[in-house]
Amino acid sequence: MLLTAASLLRELQPDDGANNLTHLRRCAKPVDMPAHLKTQLMNETALGRQVHTGRSNWIYILLGEVKDISRDEMAEALAKVEGMDPDEPVFITAIPVPLVPPTSQVQAALWTSHFWPTVYRKNNPLGPHPNVISRATDEIKEDASVWMALAHRIATKGYAARLGEPMAAVIVQREGTKVELVAVAADARWHTEKQRVGTGNPMAHCVLRAISMVAQKLVRYEHRIKNDDSSSNNNNNNNINNNIGGAGLSAPSLVFDALQDSPLLEEERLAFEVEHPNPDGYLCHGLEMYLTHEPCVQCSMSILHSRMGRVVFGERMPLTGGLTSEDRGHGHAELEGCNGGRGLGLFWRRELNWSLLAWEWESDDSIPPLPRMKPVVHA
Same domain (yes/no): 350, 224: yes
The pLDDT tens digits for 318-354 are 889 999 877 665 555 555 555 556 678 898 887 788 8
Which of residues 342 and 3 earns the better pLDDT score? 342
Q: Of 91, 106, 123, which residue constitutes the final position of a domain?
A: 123
Looking at the predicted structure, is the pLDDT value of residue 252 above 50? Answer: no
Same domain (yes/no): 69, 211: no
Average pLDDT on 106-127 reads: 77
Same domain (yes/no): 175, 50: no
Average pLDDT on 69-89 reads: 71
pLDDT at 190: 93
Which of residues 365 and 145 earns the better pLDDT score? 145
Asked if residue 247 belongs to a domain, the reply is yes
Query: Which residue type does 270 have?
Result: L
Average pLDDT on 162-185 reads: 95
Average pLDDT on 191-204 reads: 86
- Determine the 3-state secondary structure of 210 from DSSP: helix
Looking at the predicted structure, is the pLDDT value of residue 38 above 90? Answer: no
pLDDT at 239: 42
pLDDT at 335: 56
- CB-count burial class (<10 Å; 0-12, 13-18, 19+) for 99: exposed
pLDDT at 227: 78
Same domain (yes/no): 238, 347: yes
Asked if residue 366 belongs to a domain, the reply is no
pLDDT band at 261 (very low <50, low <70, confident <90, very high): confident
pLDDT at 300: 96
Q: Of 80, 98, 123, which residue constitutes the final position of a domain?
A: 123
* Mean pLDDT, the chain, integer: 80
Strands (E), 222-335: 288-293, 310-315
Average pLDDT on 177-192 reads: 94
Asked if residue 256 belongs to a domain, the reply is yes
Alpha-carbon span 187 to 156, nearest angstrom: 10
Average pLDDT on 355-362 reads: 91
pLDDT at 374: 84
Same domain (yes/no): 64, 148: no
Looking at the predicted structure, is the pLDDT value of residue 316 above 50? Answer: yes
pLDDT at 5: 54
Asked if residue 145 belongs to a domain, the reply is yes
Average pLDDT on 77-101 reads: 73
Asked if residue 164 belongs to a domain, the reply is yes
Which of residues 56 and 39 earns the better pLDDT score? 39
**CA quadruple 106, 109, 115, 117: dihedral sign:** positive
pLDDT at 65: 79
Same domain (yes/no): 112, 259: no
Average pLDDT on 234-262 reads: 52
Average pLDDT on 22-50 reads: 78
pLDDT at 238: 47
- Pinpoint the alpha helices (H) of 166-255: 206-234
Average pLDDT on 31-57 reads: 73
Nearest to residue 300, comparing CAs of 334, 258, 344?
A: 344
Same domain (yes/no): 116, 160: no
Asked if residue 375 belongs to a domain, the reply is no
Asked if residue 376 belongs to a domain, the reply is no
Same domain (yes/no): 136, 91: no
Same domain (yes/no): 54, 141: no
pLDDT-wise least confident of 26-30, 66-70, 91-95, 152-156: 66-70
Average pLDDT on 290-314 reads: 96
For residue 19, what are the domain limits?
2-123
Nearest to residue 323, comparing CAs of 259, 379, 276, 267?
A: 379
Same domain (yes/no): 220, 82: no
Same domain (yes/no): 172, 282: yes
Alpha-carbon span 265 to 165, nearest angstrom: 14
pLDDT band at 1 (very low <50, low <70, confident <90, very high): very low
Q: What is the CATH number of the domain that holds 158?
A: 3.40.140.10
Q: Which phi and psi (to 5°) does residue 331 adopt?
A: 80, 10
Asked if residue 373 belongs to a domain, the reply is no
Same domain (yes/no): 157, 282: yes
- Residues 6 or more apart whose CB falls under 8 angstroms from that of 351 comprise none
What domain count does the chain have? 2
